[in-house]
Structure 1
Amino acid sequence: MNPLTEQDIRTSFVNCSKGEAQRLPMPRDLAERPWAELDFLGWGDPGAPDRTYLVTEHAGDLVGVTLRFPAQRRGYLHRSMCSLCLTTHPGSGVSLMTARRTGRAGRDGNSVGVYMCTDLACSLYIRGLKKPAPGGRFEESLTLAEQIERTKDNLSAFLAKVLE
């Protein structure tokens, strides 16, 4: 992913108003992000623990979406799998992230969801730059490039539903 500026990020949001996009908290570490290793930029809202934000390239455009997830905590013995990167996590390591749809559907309150790593570190898990809990990544026959492409395709399919 190419490095992004705050202005790039703010103008990319598709499922909130321009005013809301201007008020979103921005990650403070944009200069330190491992941009070459990221398939998308994801961060949490320190003032609202049930909100996260995601920005990526989709169909040639930069697309940002606001996401919400339940604040409930699951027991450590419960394991779930991220539907983007296929990493499993115990407890609340995977959450159902919901995004309001764009246009009239979103104004009518319609949303779509996807199970994602709660910390939005899918890109780092795939590349082995961040380690999940033991048993979190299965040995795959796909190459790293194929795993990255699969993750991008899964994210693209989710964004297509948000944009419908």
Structure 2
Amino acid sequence: MEALTEDEVRASFVNCTKGEAQRINLPGPLDAVYWEHLDFLGWRDPRADQRAYIVLPWTNGPVGITLRAPQPKRKSLVRSSMCSICLTVHSASGVASFVAPKAGPAGREGNSVGNYFCTDLQCSRYVRGTLKSDAATFMEESLDPAERIHRLRAKLEGFTRSVLGDVLV
């Protein structure tokens, strides 16, 4: 992923107002982000844990999506869940159902889509093996890292298309 400025990140959001985008708490200094190791920039709002954001490269520039997360659950090392984007197995608290309002008129009418993401939104690091899951169960994959990255990008593209709906960006 190419490096983005604060203005580019804020301008990328498609499912919130411009005013809401200006009030988003960014994940810290963007010049400290290792952009070359990311397929998307994902973070939880440090001031409001139920808010989360992802920004990803798209055809005509970056697309940002606001997400809502459920209330945090108690950590369980007995139960496991799998992220739908990177297919990493986590303890039950390591995966959450995030919901995104749809872009455009559909979103203003209250329509939304959801998907299971790693709660820390660090899918890019999990598929590259630079971050390990805390799950008691581990699934060995036969795909090499490049194939896992390609699969992650395809799944993320599908989710993004469902958020965009009829709104073309």
1:159 alignment partner in structure 2: 160
Equivalents in 2 of 1:115, 1:130: separation in Å?
Answer: 18
What is the letter of the counterpart of residue 83 of structure 1?
S
1:36 alignment partner in structure 2: 36
Question: Residues 144 and 135 of structure 1: is their aligned pair in 2 closer, same or farther, counting only changes over 3 Å?
Answer: farther
2:82 alignment partner in structure 1: 81
Where does structure 2 lack aligned partners over 5 or more consecutive residues?
none
Equivalents in 2 of 1:136, 1:18: separation in Å?
Answer: 43
Question: Residues 136 and 23 of structure 1: is their aligned pair in 2 closer, same or farther, counting only changes over 3 Å?
Answer: farther
Contact 1:74 1:92 in 2 (8 A): yes
Q: If the length of structure 1 is used for normalisation, what is the TM-score?
A: 0.94
1:53-104 superposed Cα distances (whole Å, 9 cap, x missing partner): 1000123431000000111404512211000100011031100011000111
What is the letter of the counterpart of residue 53 of structure 1?
Y
Question: Residues 136 and 42 of structure 1: is their aligned pair in 2 closer, same or farther, counting only changes over 3 Å?
Answer: farther
1:100 alignment partner in structure 2: 101
1:21-44 superposed Cα distances (whole Å, 9 cap, x missing partner): 011111213222111110000111
**Larger proportion of strand:** 1
1:131 alignment partner in structure 2: 132
When structure 1 is superposed on structure 2, of 84-93 and 110-119 the one drifting more is 84-93
Q: If the length of structure 2 is used for normalisation, what is the TM-score?
A: 0.92
Provide the aligned C-alpha RMSD in A. 1.4
User: Percent identity among equivalent residues?
Assistant: 50
Equivalents in 2 of 1:107, 1:20: separation in Å?
Answer: 14
Contact 1:69 1:98 in 2 (8 A): yes
- Report SS of the residue matched to 1:22: helix
Contact 1:86 1:137 in 2 (8 A): no
2:12 alignment partner in structure 1: 12
Report the alpha carbon displacement of residue 143 of structure 1 after superposing the two structures with TM: 1.8
